[in-house]
Amino acid sequence: MSELFDRIDALVASRSALPPPPERKRLRQAHGLTLDEVASALDVRRATVSGWEAGKTEPRPPEREAYARLLGKLAELYPADPNATVPVEGMPVPESFSSAPAPAAQARPMPTDAAPEAAAATIERNTPTRPAADAVPPAAAPRPTRATKSPTSASRRPAAKKAAPANTPAGTPAGGTDLRFENGPLAVVDIDDDGQVVAYCTGGLVLEVPAKSLPALVEWTLKEAKLGAPKLSGPGKDADPLLVLTEAALKRYGLPAALTDEERLAGRIPEGHKVVKQLARADWKLTKRGFGPWTRIYRPATGSDRQCVQLCIPSWNALDSRHWGEAAQLPPSELARVLGVYASRVMTPRGSTAVTGLELMTALHPPTRASEPDADGRRHSERNPGSLGKDPVDCAPCEAPDGHPLLADLPRFHVRGPGEKLFEEAYDWARPMTDAECTLRHLVGIDVNMAFAAGANGLTVGLGAPTPVKAPAFDAKLPGSWLVDLSHVDLSRVKVGKDKWAELDASLLPSPFTPKGDRPEGPAWYATPTVAYAVELGYDVSPIEAYVRYDNGRYLDGWYQRLRDAYLATMADLGVHADMEPADFLAAMDGYRDRDPELAIVVSAIKATVKGGLGKLRERPRGEGWKPGQPWRALSRPTWRPDIRAAVISRTRINLHRKIVKHAAFTGQYPVAVLSDCVVYAAGGASPLDFLPYRDGKPLPGGFKLGINPGLVKHEGTQSVLWGEEVRERFDAPELNLARYIKDGQVTDKDSGE
């Protein structure tokens, strides 16, 4: 019976009456309480209380009952004007609870069964350069759900409201929310059951859209919708609002639900399409990309007044399934949640995850800033320190990919070797198993979390053009490309600490200097981290020549930190936290995607943003009639920097090799295969804990450590040793890279090159 009473008490507490948000803040301030004091008393974060007072979130049990009790006592001490009462939607309010008049944009009445969901819906709009430690993650909110219609009021829509009038004053209140972007960074535009155009925003908010045409939709978005996000850096620009158009919305606005084969190849609909003409007649312009899956519609900026709206069209393959999973098939409210979490933690998508990854670099380090006032009091545009600037710079000849204009004088079929071309790529190495390894039962794969992001952390990269130098002394702090002979580095005897050397079996280790793990045979071009590792292993180096960059800095630090925080926050929402014990971490990772498939999509998109953004630094020609020796579009960007990409990949590969060497020196175990950030070992058990050397719960210093932080490792997959030998025998490939298939064990003839 006591359990029954407890459930009844909890049910009552879950509906504890609360005053409206403005009254909550008034009562706290009337008693001289700070947000920190209230948060400490309720054992919640400061930002949580701020969200309650701003009306962006609603407290849940057990905090709700305690918060209601606090406000009730304060209301007795500081009664408000009883003539200005605004009831909390769907709940009775005591006479002592009153507040100022309601805001202009009121939510519509909701069906009774929708009230709890709408009352608990939240919206995340505070997007600093690096999320504050006490920031409330948007995923903490329940999934926005659309309730069924009330039989007595068929026209009602849950949480639907009209956008604020265009003349609503903008500004940022004390709570930190930018009122210009009150409704979040984006909205999914759809048609409801009544045929009304509605916009699903983050946090479960649904706006009525009065626009009858696409030009009108753009106008409404800029003037009334209050969509967008504040800039990530002081000299930067606010994020443009993003509209995601469903198939129903496409049909309503005269656009095709899918592109034809010809349009898909072109990446856009024809310029003569009626909707494109409508935009032109309304003085709206499109970028050179045209009207495609990711479309930017704008008018030239006048001063600081920027007018631009971006469209995302999932049915035109805007959300690549390789990176966004099944996001394109989600209902509008759930898609708004997925994209909203990504937008608040990373940035509002600007295109593919690769494009967004590159745009994030620029958003965190804008190329220019306003100068100090001159003698006449005027400010001018100048380069923003620490950025890549606004003008592109030429790469060094060794850093140029094949077909680059710098190589136009080479013979047509000339193949550049290691002494002519910088070739820093991720590992793809494997070896036959030893007899001892064949007696073990399992092959266990471990995967480095966010390996390339970790490789970018703290890395000094060039910001300006390269300077050629002959016979330079190597400087590990100077980013650049070095022509040096590392064939003398012997992995059978390496330095693993101060005045500490280890004897290893070099035949069982990949070389750290080549992606295929082969020992170099002579001079070759390497990025700074690779040459620095040769010195770390205890060997002298004598560069023949180099291209170094004296203008340098840690350009990617903020980029790494933001993506790391986004990844860790989303994984925490999925039940995987930092600093978990190894066994608990492995258990938490098992099936984490099934706990919330939508947030799992966000995790995949964050990872793709890292790899894609780095890949864009050396973007190759994409058709457009390009011929070798001619420039292509990407070369006009200051962010076309193959040297930065090479440095990150070099450091990532070296980080992995360092852990492999530490592990081998301590345990005598060597990897069977390495692919990018995945390493496979033969082991007696099926778990990473069966071969990773933990002592009293502590990992090997400098070796592999289980955990969710970037640079730590997780379990990638386990197969049997018999499976590995059978696969290699079937394809007569003793060095087939088993790391490629360790996750699920599926190998096809196509995968094996047959």
Write out the DSSP string of 74-112: HHHHS---TT---PPTTS---TT---SPPPSSPBPP--G
> In the chain, how many domains are there?
2
pTM over 0.75: yes
Convert the pLDDT of each residue in 55-88 to its tens digit.
Answer: 767 888 788 888 888 988 888 888 876 554 443 3
- For the segment 154-181, the average pLDDT, to the nearest whole number, is 49
484 within domain boundaries: no
Q: Is residue 21 classed as helix, strand or coil in its secondary structure?
A: helix
pLDDT classification of 177: cutoffs 50, 70, 90: low
511 within domain boundaries: no
Residues 196 and 234 in one domain: yes
Residues 80 and 197 in one domain: no
453 within domain boundaries: no
What is the rounded average pLDDT for all residues in the chain?
86
Residues 27 and 128 in one domain: no
Question: What is the predicted pLDDT for the residue at 299?
Answer: 93
pLDDT classification of 520: cutoffs 50, 70, 90: very high
pLDDT classification of 487: cutoffs 50, 70, 90: very high
pLDDT(589) > 60: yes
709 within domain boundaries: no
Question: What is the predicted pLDDT for the residue at 92?
Answer: 37
Which residues neighbour 114 within 8 Å (Cβ) at sequence distance 6 or greater?
147, 148, 158, 159
Phi, psi torsion values for 635, nearest 5 degrees: -65, -15
- For the segment 667-677, the average pLDDT, to the nearest whole number, is 97
Give the CA-trace dihedral at 605, 606, 612, 613, to 10 degrees.
140
Q: Looking at 27-31, 100-104, 368-372, 502-506, which range is the least confident one?
A: 100-104
Which long-range contacts link 517-523 to residues 24+ away (Cβ below 8 Å)? 517/427, 517/429, 517/674, 519/487, 520/418, 520/485, 520/486, 520/487, 521/487, 522/418, 522/419, 522/485, 522/487, 523/418, 523/419, 523/483, 523/484, 523/485
- For the segment 318-323, the average pLDDT, to the nearest whole number, is 96
CB of 234 within 8 A of CB of 247?
A: no
Residue range(s) defining the domain that contains residue 29: 1-102
Question: What is the predicted pLDDT for the residue at 329?
Answer: 95
CB of 311 within 8 A of CB of 243?
A: yes
pLDDT(12) > 70: no
**Which comes out higher in pLDDT, residue 716 or 173?**
716
CB of 324 within 8 A of CB of 604?
A: yes
Question: What is the predicted pLDDT for the residue at 294?
Answer: 97
pLDDT(9) > 70: no
Residue 707 CB neighbour total at 10 angstroms: 20
**Which comes out higher in pLDDT, residue 21 or 481?**
481
pLDDT(7) > 80: no
Query: Read out DSSP for 112-171?
Result: GGGHHHHHH--------SS--TTPPPGGGSPPP-PPPPBTTBTT--TTEEEPPPTTSPP-
Question: What is the predicted pLDDT for the residue at 142?
Answer: 44
Quickly tell me which residue has 């053009």 as its tokens. 465
- For the segment 180-187, the average pLDDT, to the nearest whole number, is 95
**Which comes out higher in pLDDT, residue 157 or 570?**
570
445 within domain boundaries: no
Convert the pLDDT of each residue in 254-269 to its tens digit.
Answer: 999 999 999 999 999 9
We report the CATH number of the domain holding residue 32 as 1.10.260.40
Question: What is the predicted pLDDT for the residue at 111?
Answer: 35
Please tell me the distance from the alpha carbon of residue 591 to that of residue 340, in angstroms, as a whole number. 24
Residues 249 and 295 in one domain: yes
Half-sphere exposure of 139 (CA within 13 A, CB side): 26
Burial 128-145, CB ≥16 within 10 A → b, else e: eeebeeebbbbbebeebb
Residue 489 belongs to what H/E stretch? none
Q: Is residue 42 classed as helix, strand or coil in its secondary structure?
A: helix
Residue 715 belongs to what H/E stretch? strand 713-720
pLDDT(148) > 60: no
Question: What is the predicted pLDDT for the residue at 143?
Answer: 45
- For the segment 592-599, the average pLDDT, to the nearest whole number, is 96
Question: What is the predicted pLDDT for the residue at 526?
Answer: 98
Please identify, among 319, 346, 373, the residue that sits at the C-terminal boundary of a domain. Answer: 346
93 within domain boundaries: yes
- Separation in Å, CA 54 to CA 17, 19, 158, 182, 193: 17, 12, 20, 11, 31
Question: What is the predicted pLDDT for the residue at 11?
Answer: 57
pLDDT(622) > 90: no
pLDDT(131) > 90: no
Residues 87 and 72 in one domain: yes
HEC string of 411-453 equals CCCCCCCCCCCCCCCCCEEECCCCHHHHCCCEEEEEEECCHHH
- For the segment 619-645, the average pLDDT, to the nearest whole number, is 93
User: To 5 degrees, how large is the angle CA 709–CA 714–CA 719?
Assistant: 170
**Which comes out higher in pLDDT, residue 669 or 49?**
669
63 within domain boundaries: yes
Residues 71 and 116 in one domain: no
Residue 142: asked if its preceding bond is cis (omega within 30°), the reply is: no
pLDDT classification of 304: cutoffs 50, 70, 90: low
Quickly tell me which residue has 């220019």 as its tokens. 368
- For the segment 618-632, the average pLDDT, to the nearest whole number, is 90
> Whose CA is closest to 604, among 238, 291, 353?
353
Please identify, among 320, 346, 372, the residue that sits at the C-terminal boundary of a domain. Answer: 346
Convert the pLDDT of each residue in 459-469 to its tens digit.
Answer: 999 999 999 99
- For the segment 664-687, the average pLDDT, to the nearest whole number, is 97
Question: What is the predicted pLDDT for the residue at 394?
Answer: 94
- For the segment 501-524, the average pLDDT, to the nearest whole number, is 96
pLDDT(146) > 50: no
Residues 265 and 331 in one domain: yes
Please tell me the distance from the alpha carbon of residue 649 to that of residue 47, in angstroms, as a whole number. 38
Please identify, among 346, 375, 397, the residue that sits at the C-terminal boundary of a domain. Answer: 346
pLDDT(684) > 90: yes
Q: What percent of the chain has pLDDT over 90?
A: 68
Please tell me the distance from the alpha carbon of residue 169 to that of residue 115, in angstroms, as a whole number. 29
Residues 118 and 39 in one domain: no
Residues 198 and 271 in one domain: yes
pLDDT(492) > 80: yes
CB of 116 within 8 A of CB of 78?
A: no
pLDDT(557) > 90: yes
Residues 123 and 203 in one domain: yes
- For the segment 279-306, the average pLDDT, to the nearest whole number, is 91
Residues 119 and 91 in one domain: no
Q: What percent of the chain has pLDDT over 70?
A: 84
- Tokens for 363? 């958003």
pLDDT classification of 175: cutoffs 50, 70, 90: very low
Residues 188 and 281 in one domain: yes
Question: What is the predicted pLDDT for the residue at 51?
Answer: 78
- For the segment 603-622, the average pLDDT, to the nearest whole number, is 96
636 within domain boundaries: no
pLDDT classification of 156: cutoffs 50, 70, 90: very low
Q: Is residue 495 classed as helix, strand or coil in its secondary structure?
A: strand
